[in-house]
Amino acid sequence: AQSVSQHNHHVILSEAASLELGCNYSYGGTVNLFWYVQYPGQHLQLLLKYFSGDPLVKGIKGFEAEFIKSKFSFNLRKPSVQWSDTAEYFCAVGSSNTGKLIFGQGTTLQVKP
């Protein structure tokens, strides 16, 4: 079965610190990978996605993620976080074979000014 695991449930960082949020999935077939962000009081919006090609994907607001197939991982990174990055981050894994998109439990990021 398809599943997604986000290791960090709550992360607290100071501004300018580097960020890495873990995401691992389990599924043996071809996957499409997404990171969504939900700012306080707002709806989910896409940060970045990977379907094929270069495994290092760049998204909006300076975020990037790397797909490592051998590790079934799609970790999200940002070299220097800002207070405005405070939000909840969701990793999601989709497959055209299963027809499903599964979201992880989410990671709450709190950035202290």
Judged by the rule CB under 8 A, the positions of this chain that interact with other proteins are 31-32, 34, 36, 42-46, 49, 51, 90, 93-96, 98-101, 103-106
CA–CA dist 107, 87 (Å, integer): 8
The minimum distance between CB 16 and other proteins, in angstroms, equals 29
Cβ count within 10 A of residue 1: 7
The minimum distance between CB 63 and other proteins, in angstroms, equals 15
User: Is the Cβ of residue 19 or residue 94 nearer to other proteins in the bound state?
Assistant: 94
CB 75 within 8 A of CB 8: no
